[in-house]
Copies of this chain bind each other. A is one copy, B any other.
Amino acid sequence: MPYPAKTSPDDILAAALTLLETGGPQELTMRSLAAALGLRASSLYRHYTSREVLEAALATEGTQRLHLALETAAAQQPPAEAIRNVADAYLHFAREHPALYDLMHAAGPPKLATPGPAKDLWNLLLGLVGTVTGRADDTAGAVAFWAFLHGYRGLERDGLFGLSGPQQGLARGLTALTLGLALDDRA
**Which residues in A have some Cβ–Cβ distance to B below 8 Å?**
105-106, 108-113, 139-155, 158-164, 166-173, 175-181, 183-184, 186
Q: Would A177 and B177 count as touching, CB distance under 8 A?
A: yes
Interface of chain A, main secondary structure: helix
Report how far A153 CA is from B161 CA in the complex, Å.
19
- How far is the CB of A59 from the nearest CB of chain B, in Å? 11
Complex contact B164–A113 (CB within 8 A): yes
Q: List 14 A-B contacts (CB under 8 A).
A: A105-B154, A109-B160, A143-B152, A143-B161, A144-B148, A145-B173, A147-B154, A147-B169, A172-B181, A173-B177, A176-B176, A176-B180, A176-B181, A179-B184
A140 and B167 contacting across the interface, CB-CB below 8 Å: yes
In the assembled complex, which residues on chain B have CB atoms less than 8 Å from the CB atom of A175?
180, 184, 186
Query: How many whole Å from A185's CB to the nearest CB in chain B?
Result: 10
Query: Using Cβ atoms and an 8 Å threshold, which residues of chain B touch A149?
Result: 151
In Å, the complex CA distance between A151 and B87 comes to 14
- Give the top 5 A-B pairs by smallest Cβ distance, nearest first: A151-B151, A143-B169, A144-B173, A176-B180, A180-B180
CA of A186 to CA of B168, assembled, Å: 10
Q: Closest residue of chain B to A109, judged by CB?
A: B159
